[in-house]
Amino acid sequence: MKRLHVRHPLVAAITASSALAFPGLSAVAQEKSLALEEVVVTARRREESLQDVPIAVTALTGQELALRGASDISELAQSIPSVTLEPSRATNTTLTAFIRGVGQQDPLAGFEQGVALYLDDVYLARPQGTMLDIYDVERIEVLRGPQGTLYGRNAVGGAIKYVTRRLSDEFEGRVRASYGAYDQMDFVGTVSVPVSDSFRIGGTVASFQRDGFGDNLTTGEDQYNKDIVGYRLSAEFEPSDRLLVRLAYDKTEDDSNPVAGWRPFPGAVSGAPVLDDVFDTTAGAADLPTTAGINGNNSVENEGWMVSVDWNVTDTITLRSITADREDYTESVVDFDSLAVPDLDAPVIYDNEQFSQEFQLLWNTDKINAVLGYYYLDAEASNDFDAVVGQIGPVTSYTGGVVETEAWSVFGDLTYNFTDRLSVAVGVRYTEDERRADIFRANYLGTGSPFLGNDSALLLAVTSDYEADQTYDDTSPRFNVSYRLTEDATVYAGYSKGWKAGSFDPRGANFATPAVEEGFDAEELDSWEAGLKATWWEGRALTNIAVFYSEYTDMQIPGSVGVDSDGDGVNDSFVGTVANAGDSEISGIEVEGSFLFTENFSAQYAFSLLDAEIKEWIVGGVNVADQREIQNTPEEMAFLALNYDVPLAGGDLRVSANWSYKGDITQFEVANEFIDQEAYSLYNASITWLSSDDAWLVGLHGKNLGDEEYRTAGYCFGFSAGCPSAFGIEDNTTVFFGPPRTWTATVEYRF
């Protein structure tokens, strides 16, 4: 039987579950019978199948994602259980991620997400610019449940690892061009050059362009368009089998137009009608004086470098160092009212920097697989924005906040193989996070504040001006036992603790809620999990099952409420709030699998059933848990893909179709029929041809073939929708939608 080897010193075993994705391509003949390819890993310095490794995880290779025509990481949520990945409100490239009910909807400065995102083992502390386009990728791994004893930053809900392709020791390259609906024009070019036997360099240039799904009827610009350019440069020095040094630098610029939501209600004062097309808008903020402080600009730039060193000291001991520095800068036009009038507009600036250092010592023998590590993070995140109520006064509420994080941790994890069948793993992590905040808020008479260019603005009142700091620490354990029932089936059970430090809301106003100076508390999640990983039907079927139960304490829920600062009965400002929402219980079952019916016909499936319930949420001494929901966590998810492969014209033709289903989704902690999404289905199909020498890949991909209109996010500052509070005078509730029906034709040449 053919084997696939993956050499990654930590948790690399997880790539084995890529066999779930396209087993038809890996079918092999063995004694005239069909079987899925056995995927073998060497994460513990010996060959073993991932089906023996007790981890709830899914991974997709770059080849598999190319065959699907996947464009960015949000599409992973269609096929992976218990996962929600969406663009945040009013953005193109800011990621909102939830796994097993853990995540955050609002991308606050200095607020770390419950789902950790890694780019080549480098933790990305902020969500801006992390809706990563898929190119030059080796694989993408999604780990479900608390992570922290094996590598990197601690994560409460899970982790997503975006792993780029290693450089080749031979000269090679690839060029990919795509054209599609809405004048989509994409280009990706990659080259790898061996300078010597021990040194190689490479680079990738990518451009993703597309007209909008709708129109801005006020500015004449496209709405929901795409204008992204990026590149990566890398080098590898490998003087011997024992030493590898990798250097990488990447930069991405997103100059897509501002995204404004669709209004389900007409303008209360302006009388602006409800638009027929949910992708259209009349938002005028980009051309109004309200956003003059950033010249109406809408852009995101992010870049970073990384140096990693792997030294195999002996056949059983490896030392690893990962040093990285990243920064991103965002200027964003947020038109809360989505109208031509300046009722509620916000020019926003995010500025983030981070430096991280990680050291690991790995020890691998036939009996023991162990890692000991140290992680350090020094990060600064800031936001500056004006909330301009332009039809009253006009009045501007300025908020400037800086949150600094200095964190360090030590972690260890050891797996001991008592027998060929029985293994026990124990791990522990100690983390210490120090958070420092500097917050200033003030109200001004005028369109814009002095901080964003309006020197003539008249100060009405300083509403917040304080500095604060807190230190949080925690010890998080992990325990797991696995037993191989047969050569083809492994069961496991375990416990792990997830933890995320508290911090400060950079929008917090101490005049309204003095306790904001104290910050919000850390959150904890205790998770118990059991699972089965089995290959059956003489190797032609694979089924992985995980059941889990979690107790979630002090959930960090960010939000915003309007404030009437001058007592005239109209909210002219807002206060950011982060609530620690008591206790919750989340349980579920996740199933993934694949069938190889014939040499040509294969199928993959996945589904999850979740029960997520808030048990305690105290407001004014009253438990309002029965009025609260866990965000972005549908109770049901399902996925089914069918693939048919036939030889054609000296290559292999694949015809595939898939169906994905999501249950009802509540966007925020309080259900709201106008911004929440009812259960829906998406239908996709692809036709791809791969030449026998792997030199040419041609594909035609159709997505959302049913043209489903589905909500992904929203702002609730209107009175008709029953929002927590109103802001502005135009009944400002807006809704954002996922892409409509699209098609893309792609040609890739590899040399």
Q: What is the pLDDT of residues 258-299, one digit of tens each?
A: 999 999 999 999 999 999 999 999 999 999 999 999 999 999
Query: Which range has the top average pLDDT, 57-66, 187-196, 515-524?
Result: 187-196
Instruction: Return mean pLDDT, the chain.
Output: 90
Rounded mean pLDDT of 419-448? 96
Q: Which residue has the higher pLDDT, 540 or 25?
A: 540
Confidence of residue 12 (pLDDT cuts 50, 70, 90): very low
β 651-662/636-648 pair status: antiparallel
Instruction: Name which residue leads in pLDDT, 599 or 22.
Output: 599
Q: Both tokens of residue 310?
A: 């792997």
Higher pLDDT, 29 or 526: 526
Q: Is the pLDDT confidence value at 32 over 60?
A: no
Q: What is residue 360's predicted lDDT score, i.e. its pLDDT?
A: 96
Residue-level pLDDT at 8 = 34
Least confident of 59-63, 443-447, 453-457: 59-63
For 63, the enclosing helix (H) or strand (E) is helix 62-68
Across the range 428-438, mean pLDDT stands at: 97
β-sheet bridge partners, residue 247: 235, 307
pLDDT band for position 576 (cuts 50, 70, 90): low
Number of Cβ within 10 Å of residue 196's Cβ equals 8
Report the relative pairing of strands 395-417 and 422-445 from DSSP bridges: antiparallel
- Residue-level pLDDT at 15: 35
User: Taking the complete model, does pTM exceed 0.85, yes or no?
Assistant: yes
Domains of the chain: 3-463+476-750 (2.40.170.20)
Contacts of 736 (CB under 8 A, 6+ apart): 87, 89, 90, 259, 261, 262, 711, 712, 713, 714
- Of 6, 3, 5, 16, the residue nearest 592 (C-alpha): 16
Q: Model confidence over 311-367: pLDDT tens digits?
A: 999 999 999 999 999 999 999 999 999 999 999 999 999 999 999 999 999 999 989
| pLDDT level of residue 565 (50, 70, 90 thresholds) | low
Higher pLDDT, 490 or 21: 490
pLDDT band for 200, please (50, 70, 90 cuts): very high
The C-alpha angle 273, 720, 390, rounded to 5 degrees, equals 65
Number of neighbours of residue 184 by Cβ within 10 angstroms: 18
pLDDT digits (tens, 9 = 90+) for 393-430: 899 999 999 999 999 999 999 999 999 999 999 999 99
Per-residue pLDDT tens digits for 249-262 = 999 999 999 999 99
Asked if omega into 634 is within 30° of 0 (cis), the reply is no
Question: Residue 709 in contact with residue 740, Cβ under 8 Å?
Answer: yes
State how beta strands 243-254 and 299-312 pair: antiparallel
Nearest residue to 403 (alpha-carbon basis) of 255, 572, 576: 576
* Residue 707 burial class via C-beta count within 10 angstroms: exposed 0-12, middle 13-18, buried 19 and up: exposed
Q: Given phi > 0 = left and psi -120 to 50 = alpha, else beta, which region is 601?
A: beta
Contact 506, 106 (CB under 8 A): no
C-alpha to C-alpha distance for 399 and 80, rounded to whole angstroms: 38
pLDDT at residue 16 tops 50:
no
Residues 149, 9: Cα–Cα separation, whole Å: 14
Query: For the ranges 175-179, 601-605, 651-655, 719-723, which has the lowest average pLDDT?
Result: 719-723
- What is the model's pLDDT at position 696? 97
Say if residues 371 and 412 touch (Cβ distance below 8 Å).
yes
- In whole angstroms, what is the distance from residue 518 CA to residue 470 CA? 8
pLDDT score for 46: 38
Residue 15 DSSP code: G
pLDDT-derived band of residue 20, with 50, 70 and 90 as boundaries? very low
Q: Residue 717, SS3?
A: strand
Residue 376 has pLDDT above 80, yes or no: yes
Q: Residue 608 has what pLDDT? A: 98
> Could you tell me the pLDDT band of residue 505, with boundaries at 50, 70 and 90?
confident
Task: Read off the pLDDT of each residue in 34-47 and give the average, rounded to a whole number.
Answer: 51
What are the tens digits of pLDDT across the range 642-656? 999 999 999 999 999
Average the pLDDT over each of 43-47, 73-77, 186-190, 432-436 and give the range with the smallest value.
43-47
Q: What pLDDT is recorded for position 619? A: 84
